C-alpha cells in the first residue's frame, strides 16, 4: 500500500505517534505480538529526525555501526554502512529500507499531525484526534514523538520579519539549497550549526556566524568504513550490541579507566591527545571523573581550548570560540569536521553576541548595537524545545481531566521516564526521566519498545485493561533522577537538557544520568516484580 493509504479502521489496540526510529520499531514489535496498531506521522515519510534535519553536513555522532537497530540479525547482516558517521541521506535510506523490509508503511498514516489525545474513562480508550478532525480510538497510546523534534526559533524582536530566504536546520527543505554567491547568516553554534557551517562556508560568498555561547567540539575524523572492519563487526555483532546494552551511554566500551584527578599531568595530556586522535564522543570517556569532578573537567576543557588556539589563527576569534563558563560535556559535546578550521577562511566572520547581542531582525538584516549585517539568507540553527516540546504541542488529557502540560507545569514528571500518573495506558518512548538523549538513542529506544510490548503482553495474558504508575512511585523516580543529576556537572550548564533554552520553561534536568545498563535493570526489576509501583486493573 502506498504512503498515506493506511486501512479504513479507526479503532486499534494501539496508536503510535511518530515514525522515526522509535515509531517504526514500536509498530514492528506490536504487530509481531498480534496487536492492531496505527502509526500517525506528521511528515510525508518515515525517518523522524532524519526526515526533517536535511541541512548540509548532517550526520550522526554515534558511530553508524552502533547507531542502528539490533533487533534483527538479518537486517544487521544485510545492511552495510559506508562511513564511520553516516550522513543524513544514508540514515534516511536505512530507515526507508527498514520500513520496506518489514512492510511497515501499510500501518502508517503520513501527513497526519496529532492535535489531541484524551483518555475516555468510560470506554477505557484513548481518543486520538488528528488535524483533519478525525478521531481514532485505541486502548494504548504510545508517544514516539521524539526528544528533538519541535524546532525552535530564537526569541529575537522581528524574527518573523526577515523577508529573504530563511531556514531552520530542524525543518530543512527537501530540495537542495544553493548558497553560491550569497551573503549568508547563521544564528546558533550548537551541533547543527557546527556540522553545517563548514559546508555553507565553502559555498557562500560570505558567512556570518552569530554566536551567543561557544560550544566544545571534538573532531569526528570521519572516514569510509573498510570492508574488513565491517566484516569483523558483522562476525560478532551480538557481542557488540550486548556491550552497548550493558554500558553507560550505549556505546561498546570495554575498559573502565581511571580518574583524571589521580593521573600525572603528562599522562593526562597523553591520554587526551590519544582520544582527540581517535575522535568522537568517546573523548569524554578519557577519564571516569570528567563529568563529576570540576577540577578534572577543567583539564579536559583546557585541552580542547588549547586545540582551538592551535587551529584558529586569529587569537581574538579563538578566544571567542573557547567556552569558559560551563564544564565540557555539560552541554552536548559537538563532533565536527573542520569546524574550527572554517574560521581561518577569509569569507567567514564570527560575531560574538556576548559582546553585542542581536537587537532585532529586520526584513533584510540582523542588527546588533554596533553593526547591521545585511544578508541574502538567514539560517536558524537555534535548536529545539527538547524532550517535552513535541508532547506539549499535543493536548494530552488524562483520566481526571488534567492535561500533561498542566501536570508538567513545574517540570516533567514521568515514572521511569515512560509513563505518567493520571494517564493510564499512555507510554512515552525515551521520555523525560529516562537515559534517552544522554545515550545512543537507538539502544534506549529499543529497550523502551521491548519493555512496553512486554507490558502490553502481560496485561493481555492477565486480562488486565489498565495500567498507570502510582503517584508515590512516580515521585520517588522523579526525586531519584534529580538527585543523580546533582552528583554530576550536568546541571551547571544552561543547556536544553535543563530546558534553559526555552523562555519560561521550568528549569529541571530532564534525562536520567545513571546510564543505560542500570536503568535497564531498574525497568526489568519493575516488570519482573509484576509491575511494582504501578496500579493494574
Of residues 27, 40, 358, 449, which one binds ligand FAD by CB under 6 A? 40
**Binding segment toward ligand FAD, per CB under 6 A, in 41-49, 75-83, 230-238, 342-350:** 41-49
Site for ligand FAD in 79-138 (CB under 6 A): 113-114
Kind of pairing, strands 183-187 and 206-211? parallel
Closest CA to 204 of 175, 231, 184: 184
Helix, strand or coil for residue 307?
A: helix
Q: Which three cell numbers stand for residue 209?
A: 556566524
Phi, psi (deg, nearest 5) at residue 533: 90, -5
Q: Applying CB under 6 A, does 145 fall inside the site for ligand FAD?
A: yes
CB of 431 to ligand FAD, least distance (A): 10
- From the list ligand N01, ligand FAD, none, partner contacted by residue 445 (C-beta under 5 to 8 A by kind): ligand FAD
**CA 37 to the chain's CA centroid:** 25
- From the list ligand FAD, ligand N01, none, partner contacted by residue 114 (C-beta under 5 to 8 A by kind): ligand FAD
Contact 43, 183 (CB under 8 A): no
Of residues 15, 60, 366, 513, which one binds ligand FAD by CB under 6 A? 60
Q: Applying CB under 6 A, does 220 fall inside the site for ligand FAD?
A: no
CB of 310 to ligand FAD, least distance (A): 26
Query: How far apart, in whole angstroms, are the C-alpha atoms of residue 431 and residue 148?
Result: 11
Query: How far apart, in whole angstroms, are the C-alpha atoms of residue 127 and residue 84?
Result: 43
Phi, psi (deg, nearest 5) at residue 235: -70, -20
Query: How far apart, in whole angstroms, are the C-alpha atoms of residue 4 and residue 233?
Result: 37
- Rule CB under 6 A: which residues touch ligand N01? 60-61, 148, 154-156, 169, 187-193, 195, 210, 212-213, 332, 335, 353, 358, 381-384, 437, 496, 501
Residue nearest ligand N01 by beta-carbon distance: 190
HSE-up of residue 282 (Cα within 13 Å, Cβ side): 21
- From the list ligand FAD, ligand N01, none, partner contacted by residue 17 (C-beta under 5 to 8 A by kind): ligand FAD
CB of 37 to ligand FAD, least distance (A): 15
**Binding segment toward ligand FAD, per CB under 6 A, in 119-127, 145-153, 313-321, 350-358:** 145-153
CB atoms within 10 A of CB 340: 21
**CA 17 to the chain's CA centroid:** 16
- From the list ligand N01, ligand FAD, none, partner contacted by residue 21 (C-beta under 5 to 8 A by kind): ligand FAD
Helix, strand or coil for residue 502?
A: coil
Q: Give the footprint of ligand FAD on this chain (CB under 6 A).
A: 17-23, 40-43, 48-49, 51, 53, 58, 60-62, 67, 113-114, 144-149, 192, 390, 393-394, 429-430, 440-441, 445
Amino acid at each position: 500500500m502506498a504512503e498515506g493509504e493506511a486501512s479504513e479502521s479507526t479503532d486499534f489496540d494501539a496508536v503510535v505517534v511518530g515514525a522515526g526510529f522509535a515509531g517504526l520499531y514500536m509498530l514492528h514489535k506490536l504487530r509481531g505480538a498480534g496487536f492492531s496498531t496505527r502509526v500517525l506521522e506528521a511528515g510525508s515519510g518515515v525517518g523522524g529526525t532524519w526526515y526533517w534535519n536535511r541541512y548540509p553536513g548532517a550526520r550522526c555522532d554515534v558511530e553508524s555501526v552502533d547507531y542502528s537497530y539490533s533487533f534483527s540479525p538479518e537486517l544487521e547482516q544485510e545492511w552495510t554502512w559506508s562511513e564511520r558517521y553516516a550522513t543524513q541521506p544514508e540514515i534516511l535510506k536505512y530507515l526507508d529500507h527498514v520500513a520496506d523490509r518489514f512492510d511497515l508503511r501499510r500501518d502508517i498514516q503520513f501527513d497526519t499531525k496529532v492535535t489531541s489525545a484524551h483518555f475516555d474513562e468510560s470506554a477505557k480508550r484513548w481518543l486520538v484526534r488528528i488535524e483533519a478532525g478525525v478521531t481514532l480510538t485505541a486502548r494504548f497510546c504510545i508517544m514516539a514523538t521524539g526528544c528533538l523534534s519541535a524546532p525552535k526559533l530564537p526569541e529575537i524582536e522581528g524574527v518573523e520579519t526577515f523577508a529573504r530566504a530563511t531556514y531552520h536546520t530542524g525543518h530543512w527543505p527537501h530540495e537542495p539549497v544553493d548558497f553560491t554567491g550569497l551573503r549568508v547568516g547563521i544564528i546558533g553554534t550548537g551541533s547543527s550549526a557546527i556540522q553545517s557551517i563548514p559546508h555553507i562556508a565553502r559555498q557562500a560568498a560570505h558567512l556570518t556566524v552569530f554566536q551567543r555561547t561557544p560550544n566544545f567540539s571534538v573532531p569526528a575524523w570521519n572516514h569510509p568504513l573498510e570492508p574488513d572492519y565491517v566484516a569483523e563487526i558483522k562476525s560478532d555483532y551480538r557481542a557488540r550490541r550486548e556491550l552497548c546494552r550493558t554500558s553507560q551511554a550505549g556505546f561498546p566500551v570495554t575498559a573502565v579507566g581511571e580518574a583524571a584527578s589521580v593521573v600525572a599531568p603528562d599522562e593526562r595530556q597523553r591520554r587526551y591527545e590519544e582520544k582527540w586522535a581517535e575522535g568522537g564522543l568517546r573523548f569524554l570517556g578519557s577519564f571516569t571523573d570528567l563529568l563529576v569532578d570540576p577540577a578534572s573537567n577543567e583539564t579536559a576543557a583546557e585541552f580542547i581550548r588549547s586545540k582551538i588556539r592551535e587551529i584558529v589563527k586569529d587569537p581574538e576569534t579563538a578566544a571567542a570560540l573557547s567556552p569558559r563558563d560551563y564544564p565540557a560535556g555539560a552541554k552536548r559535546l559537538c563532533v565536527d569536521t573542520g569546524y574550527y578550521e572554517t574560521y581561518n577562511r577569509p569569507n567567514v566572520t564570527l560575531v560574538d553576541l556576548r559582546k553585542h547581542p542581536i537587537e532585532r531582525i529586520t526584513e533584510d538584516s540582523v542588527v546588533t548595537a554596533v553593526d547591521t549585517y545585511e544578508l541574502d539568507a538567514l539560517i536558524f540553527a537555534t535548536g529545539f524545545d527538547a524532550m517535552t516540546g513535541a508532547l506539549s504541542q499535543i493536548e494530552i488529557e488524562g483520566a481526571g481531566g488534567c492535561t500533561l502540560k498542566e501536570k508538567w507545569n513545574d517540570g516533567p514528571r514521568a515514572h521511569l521516564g515512560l509513563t505518567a500518573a493520571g494517564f493510564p495506558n499512555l507510554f512515552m518512548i525515551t521520555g523525560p526521566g529516562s537515559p534517552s538523549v544522554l545515550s545512543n538513542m537507538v539502544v534506549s529506544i529499543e529497550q523502551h519498545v521491548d519493555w512496553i510490548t512486554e507490558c502490553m503482553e502481560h496485561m493481555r495474558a492477565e486480562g488486565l485493561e489498565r495500567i498507570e504508575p502510582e503517584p508515590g512511585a512516580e515521585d520517588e523516580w522523579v526525586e531519584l533522577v534529580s538527585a543523580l543529576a546533582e552528583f554530576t556537572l550536568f546541571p551547571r550548564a544552561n543547556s536544553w537538557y535543563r530546558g534553559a533554552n526555552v523562555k519560561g520553561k521550568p528549569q529541571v534536568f530532564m534525562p536520567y544520568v545513571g546510564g543505560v545498563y542500570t536503568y535497564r535493570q531498574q525497568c526489568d526489576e519493575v516488570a519482573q516484580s509484576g509491575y511494582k509501583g504501578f496500579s493494574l486493573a
